Amino acid sequence: MRYEIRVDGEMSDELTTAFPELKTFVVPSQTVLYGPVDDEAHLYGLLVRFQSLGLRVAEFRRLPE
Amino acid sequence: MVYRSGSREGRDGRDGRSVGAGVTPGGDPVLAARLTVPSVPGTFVRRERLVEQLDEGAGRPLTLVDGPAGAGKTLLVADWVTARAPGAVAWLTVEPQDSAPGVFWSYVLHALRHHGIALPEHIRGPARPGEVDHSLLARLAAWLNERDSRVILVLDEFDRVAESAAVADELQFVLRHAGDGLRLVVISRTEPLLPLYRYRAAGELVDIRADDLAFRAEETAALVDRHGLPLSAEAARALTERTEGWAAGLRLCALAAQRADDPESFLDDFEAGHSTVADFLLGEVLRAQPAETQDLLLRTSILERTHPDLTNALTGRDDAEPVLETLQRANAFVEPLGHSWYRLHSLFAEILRVRLRVRHPGLEPELHRRAAEWLSRAGLLDEALRHAADAGDWELAATELVGQLAIGRLLTGLAAERLDALFAGMAPEASGPAPDLVRAARELAHHDVDRGVTYLRRAEENLPDLGADSTDDAAATRLSCAVLRVLAARVVGSADLAETAARDAAEAEQALPADRLERSPELTALMLTDLGSAQLWAGRFDAARGTLSAAVDAAAEGLSTAFPRHEAPGRVAKVPPAGRRLARTLAAPDESPRTSSTRASARHAESTLPHARTTSRGGTPMTPPGPPSGRTTGLSQHALGRLALIDFLHGRPGQAEAHARGAVAEAERSGLPVAYRTGMPQLVLAAVAVDRDDLTAAQDHLDEAAATSAASRDPLMAVELAILRSRMLVARGDPRAALSALDDMTRQPLGSAEPSPWVSDRIAMATAAAHLADGDPKAAVKVFEEQPLHSPESRAAEARARVAAGDGERALRILDALPESRDQGPAVDVWLLLTRAQVLEARGDSPAAEGLVLRALAAARPHQLRRPFLEAGPWLGRLLRRPALAREHTWLTGTLAPHRAQPPPPEPLSAREQDVLERLAQLMSTEEIAADLHLSVNTVKTHLKSIYRKLAATRRGEAVRHARDLGLL
């Protein structure tokens, strides 16, 4: 499964290291993270990680294979 | 409308005082922090609209405050609790390990107690981490419901146990049944698994969500104003928009602006920027701090809570105290918890940890290791172990566990499952005696004796010596090893090995300071219970009685330290640790059990043993660890159950019952699920009930005993259960079934247990009794010819078999050879007297026999021991039917006369009748039975008539009852 997650705001390079398994790029006012998500546990784990870092998830979608 | 916080002065929380706390925090700063209502900083802005919502919530069962991290949930509720004092409030900050229901509820109970809500004695902390007996929750709910005033229970950070459906279900159950007695306030980042729609539909829920928590423009202005930055309405609106009213963002923004050269242009720049709010602002605030402060914050981010000494251990400097104080005064990052402890804001800590990894790669494990060492020295073992595991330093983790005499916590108590899971991650490379002892304990806890013993042997090969210059840790390692050896010896049934290991343990204990032993009451209680069980199995009854009584004492001491009523510091426990008694127990096995159990109950009643105190480097008093609920909770049931069995075996039904009921009560108070109870007390109660011919009660107790896991694991339980079943079958007039039950049992291997001399005696006695009841005295005699006997009870049973087989002379010789005065109770006396009477009666000496029967009756009467008379045989019936005797002993003759003197076996039921009877017992109607069996209604009625006749019944209920009594159902 591959996912793309958009969070509000431009994340600093330092902060993106909290998601070493995902690639990132910045668009105006948003940061896009994308990459493989192993399973459901990983998915929920990601959500918790975003939340605990005070990041707002604006969009969360599965990429077509 | 925004008000200034009215209670700013004097409650900046530096003294960590909690609202409504009747007792000082448990000395354990970590625990205290979880139970204390967080202090509200001076910059907090009270928002009346939210306070009103909370007030409204206090009138309904459930209030939910949910929003993202940093939304200001905790402070909102803390301020409400502090300022509005809405009644008795118990605060609990939930932690991830609380998702085990037993742990969760033990903390809830502890929170109630901590906040001055006195729980009654019958509601005690759960003893198993994974499960709580439902009846404990029912008792709690009922008790809350009956109180005059309500309790508000605040569960902060509930999201940490959000995935536990069991905790949510149980919470829902208690909330439902506590009526107006309980108001629940749940603070969470995610919605709890409670049926919120139902509460919402019934108007029983007040929901304060992210949108409500978000600051509005005028509230933003008030908040920034608190930081000395007046803001125009327009600027406030823009800032609110940029941060979406997010409290943490606003707070950081105000702090950063405060430190900026030109606050106004800083705010303008921030508003125009597009960075993520928290990360960016945190960076700004951090940059304004001195380098030392930045370093300190990065390093302490691995901790949930910190202390100046601990912080210094992580930074390698000595400036933590002033730096933390400065940070706290500035309301930046850290919040005081009292007793010099601080909490880092979890959101900030999370972001700081990310920075730590980027800026100091590889430093994290080293920091965890240093934290583990410091925490362990401070006696905070649980936290220390978590950090040692995070550091990947398993030798350190195992060494600390063993060194703190905490190996028993892998085997009993609330921490068992958590510690087991923690050490499941232990690297195979970790070597040395401590890691091997941990491995051995885990295997033994999982009932894998062979693997446990293998690790134990490896640990023994590397044990440190107990020389003159040996350390406490060496003694602790030897003690832990000895305790595990006692456990292994118990499982294989070797009292010799157990006693040898126990002596080693006693020797190691001598080398340890008393206060260290006192902190681990469960270790001593465990070892004594195992030792006593091994001694019992080997038939060393006096020694077993002494050891098990000491185990009960030790467990009681553990309980009293688990619920300390903290007194003025400096008072030191005067009672010697239970373990010190071990040497005495081993040396003098005849210590009167009565004295020691009286001592235990007296001490239990006092329950005021203060914790031993250690002093940290900074002079801060700290108390050693201990989860809120006793590590020995529920432990004494094992020792009490075995004491009950010893009493029963020695013919003392009264004492046996008292011990058994004590064990049952202990298990119930501790909320132990039935499967985790020992089953032994129920078994003893059943055995006593059989002696009294109360077969219904006996069956109930027997079923309870059989439902426990001990029924299959404990060889003693397995044997006694089979014996009891056979006695029940004999009592119901089916000796053949009794014999085959015994036969089945002897065919099964009893684990790896060494044979027990008296257990084989007991099997022989039960077998012979079944043959006698079957009218085959020759077979009964044969049993004893094949089986060398040990106990006087079984010799008496042999005498009975001999006289029944017509060899009165031999029987008399056996009886005469029995020692004159022995330590035997009334139940044994009754059997001996009746057997002798039977011999005399058979020789034609009726007057002498009658005298003995009268003595037997007098001995049996106080305990209503009917069974010996019912099984004595027809000769006794003639005597007992004499009017004078019958009048005086109605307790016996009442049951004896009508249907028991010569119980006629009922005419057997046909297979069809049995089918009908079974359906009758399920309360099916005649028509339903007919349909179910594909018979006509008339045929069923015919079967019913026949069943009534055979069972001597006139109604359905009576038929079913008689069938149950006869064992047909």
Rg of chain A taking only CA atoms, in angstroms: 11
The question of ipTM being above 0.85 is answered as: yes
Rounded Cα gap, residues B170 and B176, in angstroms: 10
Mark out chain A residues that contact chain B at CB-CB < 8 A.
Answer: 7-12, 14-15, 17-18, 28-29, 31, 51-56
- CB of B347 within 8 Å of any CB in chain A? yes
Rounded Cα gap, residues B126 and B128, in angstroms: 6
Q: Do B354 and A54 touch (CB under 8 A)?
A: no
Q: Which CATH architecture has domain B291-361?
A: Orthogonal Bundle (1.10)
- The fold for domain B2-213 equals Rossmann fold (3.40.50)
**pLDDT tens digits, B225-251:** 888 888 888 888 988 988 888 888 888
Most confident of B123-132, B138-147, B578-587: B138-147
B618: confidence class by pLDDT, cuts 50, 70, 90: very low
Rounded Cα gap, residues B285 and B348, in angstroms: 11
Tell me what pLDDT residue B614 has. Answer: 31
Helix (H) or strand (E) holding B197: helix B196-201
Question: Per DSSP, what are the bridge partners of residue A62?
Answer: A3
Rounded Cα gap, residues B100 and B167, in angstroms: 8
Tell me what pLDDT residue B370 has. Answer: 95
Classify residue B20 as left (phi > 0), alpha (psi -120 to 50) or beta: left
3-state secondary structure of B367: helix
Quote the tokens at residue B697: 């009660």
Whether residue B611 is predicted with pLDDT greater than 50 in this model: the reply is no
**Residue for token pair 């970590």:** B30
Nearest to B354 among A8, A17, A51 (CB): A17
Tell me what pLDDT residue B927 has. Answer: 87
Task: Compute the mean pLDDT over every residue in chain B, rounded to the nearest whole number.
Answer: 80
Maximum alpha-carbon separation in chain A: 30
Question: Per DSSP, what are the bridge partners of residue B208?
Answer: B65
Q: Which CATH class name applies to B911-965?
A: mainly alpha
Whether residue B306 is predicted with pLDDT greater than 80 in this model: the reply is yes
Tell me what pLDDT residue B671 has. Answer: 67
Least confident among B121-125, B300-304, B599-603, B704-708: B599-603
Nearest to A15 among B189, B249, B354 (CB): B354
- Given a contact cutoff of 8 angstroms between Cβ atoms, the answer to whether B612 and B624 are in contact is yes
- What does the angle CA B342 – CA B55 – CA B346 come to, to the nearest 5 degrees? 25
- What crossing angle do the helices spanning B291-300 and B277-287 adopt, rounded to 10°? 140
Q: What is the mean pLDDT of residues B169-196?
A: 91
- CB of B287 within 8 Å of any CB in chain A? no
Rounded Cα gap, residues B286 and B292, in angstroms: 11
Which residues of chain B does A29 touch, with a Cβ-Cβ cutoff of 8 Å?
A: 274
3-state secondary structure of B711: helix
**pLDDT tens digits, B433-489:** 999 999 999 998 888 888 999 999 999 888 877 666 667 888 899 999 999 999 999
**Residue for token pair 């030790």:** B554
**Residue for token pair 């008539």:** B945
3-state secondary structure of B47: strand
Percent of chain B scoring above 70 in pLDDT: 84
Whether residue B559 is predicted with pLDDT greater than 80 in this model: the reply is no
**pLDDT tens digits, B503-536:** 999 888 888 888 778 778 888 888 999 999 999 9
- Given a contact cutoff of 8 angstroms between Cβ atoms, the answer to whether B440 and B455 are in contact is yes
Tell me what pLDDT residue B30 has. Answer: 63
B552: distance to nearest CA of chain A, Å?
A: 45
Q: How many CB atoms lie within 10 A of CB B757?
A: 14
Question: Per DSSP, what are the bridge partners of residue B66?
Answer: B188
Rounded Cα gap, residues B187 and B50, in angstroms: 14
DSSP code at position B336: E
Whether residue B365 is predicted with pLDDT greater than 70 in this model: the reply is yes
- CB of B269 within 8 Å of any CB in chain A? no
Handedness of CA B55, B59, B65, B70 (dihedral sign): positive
B610: confidence class by pLDDT, cuts 50, 70, 90: very low
Q: What is the CATH number of the domain that holds A35?
A: 3.30.70
Amino acid identity for residue B897 in this structure: A
Rounded Cα gap, residues B297 and B187, in angstroms: 27
3-state secondary structure of B630: coil
Tell me what pLDDT residue B156 has. Answer: 94
Handedness of CA B434, B440, B441, B446 (dihedral sign): positive
Q: Do A10 and B276 touch (CB under 8 A)?
A: yes
Tell me what pLDDT residue A50 has. Answer: 92
Least confident among B54-58, B87-91, B499-503, B584-588: B584-588
Which residues of chain B does A40 touch, with a Cβ-Cβ cutoff of 8 Å?
A: none
Tell me what pLDDT residue B208 has. Answer: 94
Quote the tokens at residue B153: 């229970």
Which residues of chain B does A52 touch, with a Cβ-Cβ cutoff of 8 Å?
A: 69, 346-347, 350
Which residues of chain A does B244 touch, with a Cβ-Cβ cutoff of 8 Å?
A: 56
Least confident among B13-22, B458-467, B535-544: B13-22
Rounded Cα gap, residues B122 and B668, in angstroms: 8
Q: Do B276 and A28 touch (CB under 8 A)?
A: no
Tell me what pLDDT residue B472 has. Answer: 80
Tell me what pLDDT residue B575 has. Answer: 37
Q: What is the pTM of this model?
A: 0.72
Q: Which of B423, B507, B497 lies closest to B463, judged by CA?
A: B507
Q: Could you tell me the CA-to-CA distances from B597 to A41, B601, B658, B678, B751 in Å, in that order?
A: 52, 6, 12, 20, 32
- DSSP strands (E only) in B482-615: 614-615
Quote the tokens at residue B412: 């009993």
A8: distance to nearest CA of chain B, Å?
A: 7
Displacement of CA B663 from its chain's centroid (Å): 13
* Beta carbon pairs, A and B, within 8 Å: 64
